[in-house]
Amino acid sequence: MSRKLVIVDYGIGNLYSVTRAFESCGASVTLTASHEHIEDAERVVLPGVGAFEDGMKGMTGRGQAEPVKRFIASGRPFLGICVGMQLLMDVGEEFGEHAGLGVIPGRVQAVPATRADGRPHRIPHIGWNALLPPEHRPDWSGGLLDGLPERPAVYFVHSFAPVPAEQQHRLADCDYDGRRISAVIRSGSAYGCQFHPEKSGPIGLKIVENFLRL
């Protein structure tokens, strides 16, 4: 099992923390904007904060979108974090409609502005929230969420979230005032986390560790 990893630098995001989280789990990290590095990688992490459109423009402007899609299609382990996760979807609705990478069918939509009972709640959704299995109870063993305790709390900060069209792509949700939000999505070996594993303490590092074992 190799612990070599490429983190895609596409001009947005706090790359230092992501790099450090993977290094602290024993990974040897290459931080790169180069499409050759991406195509040749054993594992790829796509981090990101900011807006969907900026993220997509950052990637296409650097010629990274197609190499990332080819990397994912090859079945090697991939992890998108926050906006890096949202980019896996077909379309993002933040500041107008923008095409994503189209790896997972569905859209990235605003987090509902109200609780389930209709009263307003805080947007962005900021803070620690527990990962929950969706209704179809996908198996967490052996994958990114292997071996986590019940209701593991992780750190979220976002105003938009993916809404996968197909249930099979939903691996974990969180509950924000009665609203189910997709927290982890998956297609084969490609995973996306809406929360920040690099900011989620020991639970987050366990997820990082799991990714390195895929």
Partner 1 sequence: MANLRLIARLDIKGPNLIKGVHLEGLRVVGDPQQYAREYYEQGADELVYMDIVASLYGRNNLTDIVRKAAHDIFVPLTVGGGVRSVDDVNMLLRVGADKVAVNTAAVARPQLVTEVARRFGSQCMVLSIEAKRIAADRWEAYTDNGREKTGLDVVEWAKKAEKLGAGEILLTSVDQEGTRKGFDVPLVKAVSASVGIPVIASGGMGSVEHLVQVAGEGAADAVAMADCLHYKRLTVGEIRAAAQAAGLGVRSL
- Which listed range, 13-21, 33-41, 59-67, 134-142, lies at the site for partner 1 (CB under 8 A)? 13-21
Q: Which of 86, 129, 182, 210 binds partner 1 (CB under 8 A)?
A: 129
Q: Say if CB 27 and CB 79 are below 8 A apart.
A: no
End-to-end CA distance of the chain: 9
Cβ partners under 8 Å of residue 81, min gap 6: 18, 45, 46, 47, 48, 192, 193, 196, 197, 198
Instruction: Note the Cα 28 to chain centre separation in Å.
Output: 20
Residue 21 binds partner 1 (CB under 8 A) = yes
Residue 125 binds partner 1 (CB under 8 A) = yes
Encoded tokens for 147: 């071996």
- Which listed range, 32-40, 59-67, 98-106, 125-133, lies at the site for partner 1 (CB under 8 A)? 125-133
Q: Which of 78, 176, 191, 211 binds partner 1 (CB under 8 A)?
A: 176
Q: Is 193 a known active-site residue?
A: no
Beta strand 78-81 with 89-92 is unpaired
Q: Which residues bind partner 1 (CB under 8 A)?
A: 14, 16-17, 20-21, 24, 49-51, 120-130, 151, 153, 155-159, 176-177, 196, 198-202, 204-205
